[in-house]
Amino acid sequence: MKIIKRNGEEREFDIAKIEGAISKASASVAAADAMTARQISRCAAEVGDECSRLRRAVGVEEIQDMVERSLMRGGFLAVAKHYVTYRYERTLARKGNTTDAKVMSLLDSVNETVRQENSNKNPTVVSVQRDYMAGETSRDLTRRLFLPEDVVKAHDEGLIHFHDSDYYAQRMHNCSLVNLDDMLQNGTVISGVMIERPHSFSTACNIAMQIVAQIASCQYGGQTISLTHLAPFVDVSRQKIRKELEVFKLSKVEREKMVEQRVLEEIRRGVQTIQYQVVTLMTTNGQAPFLSVFMYLNEAKDGRERDDLALVIEEVLRQRIQGVKNEAGVWITPAFPKLLYVLQEDNIHEDDRWFYLTRLAAECTAKRMVPDYISEKVMKANKIDANGKGQCYPCMGCRSFLTPYVDKDGRPKYYGRFNQGVVTLNLVDVALSADHEWEDFWMILDERLELCHRALKCRHERLEGTLSDAAPILWRHGALARLPRGERIDSLLHGGYSTLSLGYAGLWECVLAMTGRKLTEPEGEAAGLEIMKALNSYTAKWREAEGIAYSLYGTPIESTTYRFAKCLQRRFGIVPGVTDKSYITNSYHVHVAEPVDAFAKLALEAKFQPLSPGGAISYVEVPDMKGNIEAVLAVMRFIYDNIIYAELNTKSDYCQKCGWDGEIQIVEQDGKLVWKCPRCGNTDQSTMNVARRTCGYIGTQFWNQGRTQEIKERVLHL
């Protein structure tokens, strides 16, 4: 059994230390109130049993809470009082410096919390360590100087989660839709160097990746580019190649055949640039850029541009099916870029012109877990702009969607917009605090949401006053705007141009705690929808009052799911079906262990997606589908008819020690969940390639214990 020290380091559980702490408290009281050695051992054993039942590494603070409760239950009130007093004095002493121990544990690569915080960051790499060290400083400043005490307290207790405080000290925003079209067509500036309109497709791809790397170093969330913005440069290459071949004595037919052959080679090189630069670039936050690539045929103009876009999409899918090579030269599944494929009326049926691309996408999903699917039909029915027109556009990162927006000329605008940040509400805590009483639930919800509102205002006000010079690639050179040097970005923070996200987590457990019913049951579904509508009413009220685009967001709680679960257990103990896991359920999702078929799951969650306009994604867990592409296509058609945005989760693993390319298993070992090769028994994560969908994106650097348990308990839906 393991414990997590305050600096994040993982150590073996040692009951003697608990006995020692109780003994010191006992020795400090009057003899009549002191405990016997047997009583001390019994109390320590009781704490050890409670830790064991949690089936995860337990934090020092949690253990101390357990000791206090055990002493109180045993009637040792004087000892408990002295124990609490000593603990408080030590807490005050530690407040003198809150970061040194954590920074040192980062440098020594022993901070287990950080090691499993982000499934796409390797904490042993010096660039990642540098980012984490800066993050600890930012967190410390944020807690002591930038946030109100009640917001910090609510975050610490797990009532809310103030996201990305490791970047909050700097004036940075969350995620964005990159205006790549403007930057490529009209030129941009990168690191003080003028970059003019490219003269070939491969050059356009190369410039695009340099832009992506720069942006990733100036924000902390995901970014999305559209292949539609690259497609016009295919014909630029075509015209260039055609001119080069004019000197050769060829017939028109021969020349055009050669032109198209060279165009295809140009596309291959350009797409390869995208694939390999994304997975090999290292940004200043120590990881590859969190990039999504949008593939939407109806976004292109008719004729040549759409045909060229189809060629690019086909090449992207073929190269992704192939994958990338690991250190051993074996083809594996990369985490990025994330691919977004739009299902539309002329690519969903077998006799459609573009169906061959949809089949290729299905093959890619079966092997590499991407692309994810957006239904043009359902999205346009739900994303209605001020002109009354339905819009189809990509998410930023894994699920964050902008709200519909038209500019001053009445034109819809999405590229060049961004999200200011997120604060997430723990719905499970609201429900357990209400203790089955709906009147109390709505009262507590109101209090917690006002707390979230003030925390979100802090995010907004932190960005206000930011000068365009803070991140020139974003604010001055076209990624998000083309503001003059030294101008404030405030105009982009108001009027709906950018969004501010109220996140929510644990609707499944919230409904179960309040009603005793699951979301998959009529009473539970009705309660869940009512709660979601109430959350939307708050964001609407704030938006109307302040002119800021607050939106409800289904948070992808990767590490927060574990933190929330631990906080809930600490506050409420083990509540069957609610707090008995080391994780809580993401957003409105059906619980991962709930037996339900793929179509029923998507149909149910389709009712909740429109009520999460700031971000939502649904998934179905499937077995190896490489031999059953027709089943993948059946799910894709269901997505097209029923839900805005969904994905299929499968598995893609490789053991470098024995060559196993089946599923790497999760097993319990010494009270901890570990990854184990079923063939050779290898448990060394550094010699495995494991890819799993984490929260809408693919993770490849492994996960904390809460998320690992969630992955282990996922059931198949197909």
Query: CB burial class (10 A; 0-12, 13-18, 19+) of residue 602?
Result: buried
Which of the following is catalytic: 175, 209, 514, 677? 175
Nearest-angstrom CA–CA distance, 457 and 64: 35
Nearest-angstrom CA–CA distance, 636 and 518: 26
Q: HSE on the CB side for 214, CA within 13 Å?
A: 25
Q: In the block, which residue shows the tokens 């939407």?
A: 296
The dihedral built from the CA positions of residue 402, 404, 410 and 413, taken in this order, carries a sign that is positive
Are 21 and 58 spatial neighbours (Cβ–Cβ below 8 Å)?
Answer: no
Nearest-angstrom CA–CA distance, 210 and 195: 11
Which of the following is catalytic: 105, 419, 642, 682? 419
- List the structure tokens of 125: 């790499």
Question: Dihedral through CA 604, CA 607, CA 608, CA 614, nearest 10?
Answer: 140
175 is catalytic: yes
The whole-angstrom distance between residue 286's C-alpha and the CA centroid of its chain comes to 16
Which of the following is catalytic: 497, 553, 562, 645? 553
* CA distance to 16, 61, 91, per residue, from 570 (Å): 22, 9, 18
Q: Which residue in 352, 370, 476 sits closest to 416, CA to CA? A: 476
- List the structure tokens of 127: 């660039």
Are 87 and 671 spatial neighbours (Cβ–Cβ below 8 Å)?
Answer: no
553 is catalytic: yes
Which of the following is catalytic: 19, 112, 363, 558? 558
Are 422 and 163 spatial neighbours (Cβ–Cβ below 8 Å)?
Answer: yes
The dihedral built from the CA positions of residue 243, 248, 254 and 259, taken in this order, carries a sign that is negative
395 is catalytic: no
Which of the following is catalytic: 119, 176, 200, 400? 400
- List the structure tokens of 510: 């919230």
Q: Which residues of 181-192 are buried (b: 16+ CB within 10 A; e: fewer)?
A: bbbbbeebebee
- List the structure tokens of 265: 């080679």
Q: Which residue in 526, 580, 614 sits closest to 54, CA to CA? A: 580
Which of the following is catalytic: 295, 392, 395, 398? 398
What is the CA angle 655-657-659, rounded to 5?
A: 55
The one-character DSSP state at 465 is T
Q: HSE on the CB side for 237, CA within 13 Å?
A: 26
Nearest-angstrom CA–CA distance, 51 and 66: 9
Nearest-angstrom CA–CA distance, 312 and 531: 43
Neighbours of 313 (CB within 10 A): 26
Q: Which residues neighbour 88 within 8 Å (Cβ) at sequence distance 6 or greater? A: none
396 is catalytic: yes
Long-range contacts of 320-329 (CB under 8 A, 24+ apart): 320/275, 320/364, 320/368, 320/370, 321/360, 321/363, 321/364, 321/367, 321/368, 323/367, 323/368, 324/275, 324/276, 324/279, 326/654, 326/656, 326/689, 327/656, 328/656
Neighbours of 352 (CB within 10 A): 14
419 is catalytic: yes
586 is catalytic: no
Which of the following is catalytic: 70, 119, 174, 582? 174
Which of the following is catalytic: 396, 458, 567, 655? 396
Which of the following is catalytic: 270, 614, 696, 699? 696
400 is catalytic: yes
> Which residues are marked as active site?
174-175, 396, 398, 400, 419, 553, 558, 696
